[in-house]
Structure formats: structure tokens, C-alpha cells
Amino acid sequence: MVDLLTLNTDTLRHMQKHLFLKYEEFRQKRLKLNMSRGKPCPEQLDLSSGLFEGLDRNHLAEDGTDCRNYGGLGGLPEARRLFGELLEVQPEEIIIHGNSSLALMHDLIARALLFGVDGQHAPWGRHPVKFLCPSPGYDRHFAICQFFNIEMVTVPLLDDGPDMDFVEELVAKDETIKGIWCVPKHSNPTGITYSDQVVTRLARMKTQAPDFRIFWDNAYAWHDFTAAPVPLKNILTACKEANHPDRVYIFSSTSKITYAGAGLAMVASSRQNINRLTKQMAIQTIGPNKLNQLAHVRFFKTAHNVRLHMQKHAAFIRPKFDLVLNLLETELGTQKIATWSRPQGGYFISFNTMPGCAKKVVQMAADAGVELTKAGATFPYGIDPLDQNIRIAPTYPPLAELKTAMELFIVCVQLVSIEKILSEREGKTAELTVLPEDKAQIV
């Protein structure tokens, strides 16, 4: 394989025909593979087998609370202690809730719109609100903003976090910017981890909005592949040190530790924020599912055991990432038609095609039975300005399926890229026609 851009048109056309035949072979297989979401695979879920063992027989928390009954709004004390330790916050600085950290974020923003965030400043909903969205980022964060009519301002995500020069400039002058979305460790989808300097700058920066908030979605806090995980500076401590103790809400969950549909979600923040939130949540619910919290605490017992458990996850995930990265390197490494991330943890590989190709690649893959995350999903409003980012989620499929899916994906990338190169040479706007099935054989 060589740099495709240096090949002459005839060679490219020859390759194109060859690739179409390969593509058609894939299509004949009538694949039905889904790589669209960052889901744990069944073997990962099996790691938590026994989670509910004995729960029916012994349902008392350490303080004697019957976890089957009502109450316990902030979460079981032992659960707050365990996950507080893991997130490096005090038990009083964390709430352990139901199964969805997304719901905690969504509900926090709904309340901010209706009531503001601190009892001092106006409800956000009174005026237009903007959020900074480091991108590529997590589509569900962006969906929350879109749902609540919060204007999203795209911020470039660099290798060490958001472009802080840009962020600082924006928040210093625009009072309507009330928040920023961050996935600070093994970021979704690029896999980067924020540098200490970025964390410090986020904590310290002057914001025109006095009620500015960082939504710190630390979803992959313990999800490392490597023996010496890259550390993440403690943002709550940094905010306290910067005299902005209430600036950050930290979210996490055990969705990718135990069960993705039946784990625990948590939010950590200053005591003041946690107290306010607890009072608000008392209106919403009598309490979370404490039995599930008890199950988790008994299953893990210590923070150390959680970390050991995550190494078992890594043993399943690492080979899948290796497979994808090796295939990409082998097939596309020298072709100069794409770049991709090489994460040290998390759930995604971020892949960039040549500009204007991502949608077509995703569509072609879908037509041949491999569903990828929608192109554009990693940007606000689902609009990738360069149409080049694709999120690859390798964790769910078995290795054999993953290999097939990636081989198809690579063929799609090559086909769409060659089409684009040829179109540009012909001075046309790049447009790829995926042939209808009955005509495909004549290519």
C-alpha cells in the first residue's frame, strides 16, 4: 500500500474496481453487525456474575438500614465512601443514585434552567444559554443541549484537552456561556486525557457568568488498558484551590464496571452543591435503589478491588483495540487517506477520513450490514463541519466479527477516498454513488 494521492488515475480506477468487488462480497454475506455504541461485551458483563448473590437473605446496610425499604436519598454511606475514594472526593461530596449518570446530568440542567444553580443567580432558562462543546465529543451530551435549546459552541479538542486559549477567551467575554462538557479521561471519542495544565486552567479561568459550571463526565475514570494509567488531576480540588469550589459537577457510573443497564450512577461536587442537589432530589424521589448499591459495595468491598476488576475488563478490551489498530495500520498506514487515535483506555477509537467522506463511509458500511455511530454524531447538532470524524466502538463484537466489520470499514474508507480523489482530479464535487444491489455486479 502506498500514498493513494500519488497514484495515477488509471491505477486508482483499477483499485476502485477491485475494491468494489470486495465490497460486494461483503454485501453478499448479509452481515448484521452493530458497532454504533460503546457497549461492554457479554464476557465483560460476566465478570460481575454473582453481583446479587445473597442480597435477598442479607439486605442490611452497615448502619442497619433495610435496603429493601424507602429512604436514603444520597446513597448508602458505604457506597458514598467507596466511590468517593475512587473519585478522590469526600463521602459528603458525592451522591450515589440510580443506574444513569446521563439522567443526573439531564436533570441537573433541567433544574438549572428552571431554578439556576446556586440560589443566587437567575434561572438559566430566563435568558439564552450557551454551552461549550469540545469536539469531537459525546453525542448524548450534545443531545441534552439541543433538547433544552442550549446553543452549542464547538471548541476544538486537542491532545491534552479543549483548546484552552479559545475557551478562556470565550468564557471571559460571554455571560450566556454557562457551561462546558468535558469527558476528561479517555475522552469519547478521541481517547485523550486532559493534562494537569488544562485542568488547572479550567478551574482558574475567569468566567463572565458567575454561575458557570463544568460538567465533568468522568465516565472512563478507571477504564485503562495500560499498567501505568495516565493520571487525571483532581478537578474538584483544583476548583477549591482556585476559589471556585462550586464550579464543577463530576459524573461517573459503574455502567462499564458492572452492568451497563443496571449499575450505579454518581455525581460529586462541593458540599454546598451536593446539599442543594440533595434537597432538590428529595422532591423528585424518596430514594435510589439501595439494594443495588449494597450489592455493589459487597461485590467490590474496596477501591483496590474495583481497580483489579477493571484490569479484567482491559484483558477483554485491549485485544479488540489492538486488532482494530493493527488492521488500520496495515491497510491504511501508508495511504494518507485517514488518521486515527491510539487510546490508552476508554471505549472508542476516533477515526478521521479525508474531508467530506465520513457520511459516505458510514452509509456504505451500513448498506453492507455494519452499523457505525452516525457520522457527525461526535459534533454539536450532528454536523461535523469537515465531515470526516467517525467513532469506532470495538468493545461489543466478538473478535472475528470485529475483524470482518473493520475489513469492510477499511474497504469503504478506501473506496470513498478514491472516489473523492478521482472526483477532485476531474474537477467535480466529490460524490459517490453507491450502486443499487442489482447493478453492483457489472462494476
Which chain residues interact with a copy of itself by CB under 8 A? 37, 39-40, 42, 45, 48-53, 55-57, 59, 66-72, 98-100, 102-103, 106-107, 110-111, 113-114, 125, 140, 143-144, 147-148, 255, 259-262, 280, 283-292
Q: Minimal CA–CA distance to 309: which of 234, 261, 254?
A: 254
Task: For a copy of itself, give the closer residue by CB, 48 or 352.
Answer: 48
Q: Which residue number, 46 or 241, has a Cβ lying nearer to a copy of itself?
A: 46
Helix-strand-coil split of the chain, %, nearest 5: 45, 15, 40
Tell the residue number behind the cell numbers 478521482, with chain if given. 422
To a copy of itself, the closest distance from the beta carbon of 22 in angstroms equals 32
The CB-of-191 to a copy of itself minimum distance in angstroms stands at: 20
Q: Minimum distance between the CB of residue 268 and a copy of itself, rounded to whole angstroms? A: 19
Residue whose CB is less far from a copy of itself, 15 or 55: 55
Between 104 and 164, CB nearer to a copy of itself: 104
CB of 39 to a copy of itself, least distance (A): 5
**Cis peptide bond prior to 394, omega within 30° of 0:** no
Q: Report the distance separating Cα 393 and Cα 388, nearest Å.
A: 16
Identify the CA nearest to 356 among candidates 408, 428, 422, 429: 429
Name the H helices within 354-440: 358-367, 399-425
Shortest CB 140 distance to a copy of itself, Å: 8
Helical pair 358-367 and 399-425, crossing angle rounded to 10 deg = 130
CB of 48 to a copy of itself, least distance (A): 8
Q: Give the nearest distance from C-beta 81 to a copy of itself in angstroms.
A: 19
The partner residues of 214 in beta bridges, in order of sequence, read: 180, 248
Q: Provide, rounded to whole angstroms, the least separation between the CB of residue 280 and a copy of itself.
A: 8
Q: Name residue 200's amino acid.
A: T
**Cβ closer to a copy of itself: 110 or 242?**
110
Nearer to a copy of itself, 236 or 274 (CB): 274
The DSSP symbol for 213 reads E
Distance CA 216, CA 112 (A): 16
Determine contact, residues 368/404, Cβ cutoff 8 Å.
no
Q: Please identify, using beta-carbon distances, which residue of 140 and 318 lies nearer to a copy of itself.
A: 140
Q: Among candidates 318, 306, 320, 328, which has minimal Cα distance to 410?
A: 328
Q: Which is nearer to a copy of itself, 112 or 365 (CB)?
A: 112
Alpha-carbon gap, residue 17 to 3, rounded angstroms: 18
272, amino acid identity: Q
Distance CA 146, CA 137 (A): 14
